[in-house]
Structure 1
């Protein structure tokens, strides 16, 4: 059953730890506006401007909040999920959950021109500086999850090693051995690892950062 817009907004607020008054201020309304919409049904529908602000804030499609359904064929934009985990590029981090933190839109034609399948992509954040200067702490990286079931190609991957999620440069060696390397010379790598001990989550195919 499709989620009703008021219920969807209330769920997003709870999951994100926001409050009604703060979101009312975000959309330029009085402090009770969002609470009245959810609890009293006033207004009956969110106006287009307010709906758009909330959809961008939560990283969801406007249709979830009562807007028209926009297909990829009409907008050309594909929303790629951003997960609330960090791939360590430092001492290592063990994520305790992998939940949706939002979505970022990319031109679908551009993705496919790069040879990527939009349904197999996800975004996570780099944690640490062992891959600097290629990847810096806080960078968003796009992960092609098809690499998890393919023969490992040399390049930067998100992997799990000893129950730690990390982003490292992989290089294939003889007999199924792998080199697990850092781009930052201040950090040691593992030049000879049994490939069976490395779980490949995906290949890093794009990175973005705030300047």
Structure 2
């Protein structure tokens, strides 16, 4: 059952009415009114309400006091440092390798799933220098990846699919979500350049995930995340 007091508290924080929440969830105002009045115990809308309000479903349903889900499939900065110290040449970096090796994936993206002109327009928004340097018809190497952890929640939810431009290499802080490899561990995080070219601040949108700083030599840029897709609930 959805915890009405928590939802009402979140609405107050956002400055929203129940009608605003209904529009954001693409449901009728009466559907929200029935949930918040306790007339229905149907929790079908719980995932949508949680996503729209930027918290975990467990918080919305009263199963957890924490607004954000515990991060799954992630490790602490100390454990990451140990991986770095023991990093072996040729370590399989998961999706890092597939960007360049899987030509069938690029063919599918360009010819079967996404229009190449649409791809160019989207990538040009976050990496215009690619098209200045390579011309307007340039199509960058791409990859498609499913989000495997809750670390970027609520921006990216576990199971979301993202498109990554593997040609983008300029981290300026204006568009900060990147696919990276740190110590051989693939992850999607926000990157912010540190002063004096000291490296990057690596952070997640879920407060339960660790934030750390790393020199450039320890961060392999896979590419910039420029599009996300989510199955409608």
Distance 1:170 1:109, change over 3 A: same
Pick aligned residue for 2:150 from 107, 112, 129: 129
1:118 aligns to what SS in structure 2?
coil
Give the whole-Å Cα distance in 1 for the aligned partners of 2:166 and 2:155: 20
Q: Which residue of 1 aligns with 2:209?
A: 187
Pick aligned residue for 1:91 from 51, 60, 74: 74
TM-score of the aligned structures, taking structure 1 as reference length:
0.50
1:140 aligns with 2:161: yes
Higher relative contact order (CA 8 A, sep 6+): 2
2:186 aligns to what SS in structure 1?
strand
Give the whole-Å Cα distance in 2 for the aligned partners of 1:201 and 1:106: 21
Distance 1:89 1:144, change over 3 A: farther
Q: Whose helix proportion is higher, 1 or 2?
A: 2
Contact 1:169 1:181 in 2 (8 A): yes
Q: Which residue of 1 aligns with 2:40?
A: none
| Greater than 3 Å deviation, 4+ residue runs | 96-104, 116-119
Spell out, residue by residue over 1:133-173, the C-alpha distance to the aligned partner (whole angstroms, 9 max, x if none): 111111111001112xx332321000000110110000011
Unaligned residue ranges in structure 1 (runs of 5+): 1-87
Map 1:1-211; keep pairs closer than 5 Å.
Answer: 90-91=73-74, 95=94, 98=98, 100=102, 103-104=108-109, 105-114=113-122, 115=124, 117-147=138-168, 150-154=169-173, 155-176=176-197, 177-190=199-212, 192-211=213-232
* Alpha-carbon shift at residue 94 of structure 1 (Å): 5.3
1:146 aligns to what SS in structure 2?
coil
Contact 1:89 1:167 in 2 (8 A): no
Give the whole-Å Cα distance in 1 for the aligned partners of 2:93 and 2:221: 15
Contact 2:141 2:165 in 1 (8 A): yes
Give the whole-Å Cα distance in 2 for the aligned partners of 1:208 and 1:197: 29
Spell out, residue by residue over 1:107-132, the C-alpha distance to the aligned partner (whole angstroms, 9 max, x if none): 22222223275342211111110100
Contact 1:168 1:182 in 2 (8 A): yes
Give the whole-Å Cα distance in 1 for the aligned partners of 2:140 and 2:170: 20
TM-score of the aligned structures, taking structure 2 as reference length:
0.46
Give the whole-Å Cα distance in 2 for the aligned partners of 1:109 and 1:94: 30
